[in-house]
Amino acid sequence: MASFTLPTPSASRFKFKTVLWIFLGITTLFVFITSEVLLITDYPMYHAYRLRVIADRGLLIPHMLCGTFALLAGPLQFSSRLRQRHLNLHRLIGRIYFTVVIIGAFTGIALATGRPGLPGTSMQGAAWIVCTAAAVIAARNGQITVHRQWMARSYAVTFTFVSTRVLNLVPAYWSHLDDVLSAVGVIAFTLASIVAVDLGLNWKELTTRHKSTIAHPPSPEAGSLQIRADNRTLTTQLSNDPHLR
């Protein structure tokens, strides 16, 4: 009996994914140390922000929990092995991911209300919800390839919560946290992340030239040979017809 095996990703693709996740993990660890750990230990440059965080803890705690879950769910949801072996778990994590994205986006917008960063946070939250909702709709319609593409865009927006904090220790960057420039920065990071993902998804098409074949008309010799063959066939049919004998 023939056996069916699921396609496995190529070695080069597997290597790329491994390097990518290692890079994202190192970046996340760096931001956790330079932002969250220093914030907890009352780093002098973060003191005013720390007081605001304490005042906003009612909204900030659920926002951070939702963002953390979405961030950690990425490696699991993009694992081909998990999808193939534990599809129900993959779907469960996906439903939770969608829920925390909604909560995380709206709590983020609520935290930014009345502050200069509101336009950037609103755009970031809207992009987060739209990309995730599109991924869910595609999955429900059985469009799995499209679903994965939109999930990649969604996770790119998720990771902006890390990428926008990479330069926090730079005083010139940190000093613009509470002005309009921060909103522009968040919008730029969000758009750049989505564009980067789309370039990655279409990299093969962008770097590979399509070889088009031009159909050449048949030569006169080929046409005459075809006519002779047709004449022979017709002659044979007529000779075998009893009504014509």
The 3-state secondary structure of 20-58, one letter per residue:
HHHHHHHHHHHHHHHHHHHHHCCCHHHHHHHHHHHHCHH
pLDDT per position in the chain (245 positions), as tens?
444 344 455 667 778 788 888 999 999 999 999 888 988 888 888 888 888 888 988 999 999 999 999 999 988 999 888 888 999 999 999 999 999 999 999 999 999 998 888 999 999 999 999 999 999 999 999 999 999 999 999 999 999 999 988 888 888 788 777 777 788 889 999 999 999 999 988 888 888 887 765 555 555 555 554 555 555 554 555 455 555 45
| pLDDT score at 214 | 54
The domain tally of the chain equals 1
| pLDDT score at 5 | 41
Determine, yes or no, domain membership for 21: yes
| pLDDT score at 242 | 52
Q: At what angle do helices 11-31 and 57-77 cross, to 10 degrees?
A: 160
| pLDDT score at 3 | 40
**Predicted structure pTM score:** 0.77
Determine, yes or no, domain membership for 221: no
Inter-CA distances, 210 with 82, 113, 145, 169, 231, Å: 34, 50, 22, 47, 41
Domain span at residue 95 reads: 15-207
Determine, yes or no, domain membership for 156: yes
Determine, yes or no, domain membership for 218: no
Determine, yes or no, domain membership for 230: no
| pLDDT score at 223 | 52
Determine, yes or no, domain membership for 225: no
